[in-house]
């Protein structure tokens, strides 16, 4: 299945249906089976000691998987997370944006499975890894005219 939205259309749709992430996340690159999404680190993402919080890294993983699924299914906002496994492997660099590389491993009729690696920008070693499964909403019949 080809992409139903390009990166600009995807960001526009995310801003429309999920405006609370407008200032935090940005799609950096998008292909049929992969998305690169940036988390713009702000004070609210930091915990004591200046490290990025686990919930912020989870949000990046979840948002990147959500965006990958939306790019494939189009303007249907009701895809939801059904499973997540996440490993926090090392402390992110202080004050540096994070980048998620989300690869779509399986895209079925009702489920999508993604693998996400999160890096601090400028560092090679991943700081976290997630595996997420999303439920895909059933195809809608066109509305009668």
- Give the tens place of pLDDT for each residue, 19-36: 888 889 999 999 999 999
| pTM for the whole structure | 0.92
Please give the mean pLDDT across all residues of the chain. Answer: 92
SS3 for 49-104, per residue? CCCECHHHHHHHHHHHHHHHHHHHHCCCCCCEEEEEEEEECCCCCCCCCEEEEEEE
- The model's pLDDT over 78-122, given as tens digits with 9 standing for 90+, comes to 889 999 999 999 999 888 999 999 999 999 999 999 999 999 999
pLDDT band, residue 143 (cuts 50/70/90): very low
- Looking at residue 137, what is its pLDDT? 86
- The model's pLDDT over 62-81, given as tens digits with 9 standing for 90+, comes to 999 999 999 999 998 888 99
Q: Class assignment of domain 7-135?
A: alpha beta
Q: Which residue has the tokens 């189009």?
A: 74
Q: Which of 102, 107, 109, 111 is nearest to 131 (CA)?
A: 102
Residue extents of the structural domains in the chain: 7-135
């Amino acid at each position: 299945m080809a992409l139903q939205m390009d990166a600009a259309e995807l960001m526009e749709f995310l801003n429309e249906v999920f405006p609370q992430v407008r200032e935090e996340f940005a799609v950096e690159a998008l292909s049929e089976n992969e998305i690169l999404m940036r988390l713009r680190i702000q004070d609210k993402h930091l915990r004591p000691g200046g490290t990025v919080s686990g919930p912020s890294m989870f949000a990046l993983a979840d948002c990147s998987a959500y965006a990958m699924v939306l790019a494939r299914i189009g303007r249907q906002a009701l895809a939801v997370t059904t499973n997540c496994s996440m490993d926090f492997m090392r402390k992110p660099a202080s004050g540096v944006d994070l980048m998620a590389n989300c690869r779509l491993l399986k895209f079925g009729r009702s489920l999508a499975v993604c693998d996400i690696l999160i890096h601090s920008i400028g560092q090679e070693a991943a700081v976290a890894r997630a595996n997420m499964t999303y439920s895909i909403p059933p195809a809608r019949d066109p509305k009668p005219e």
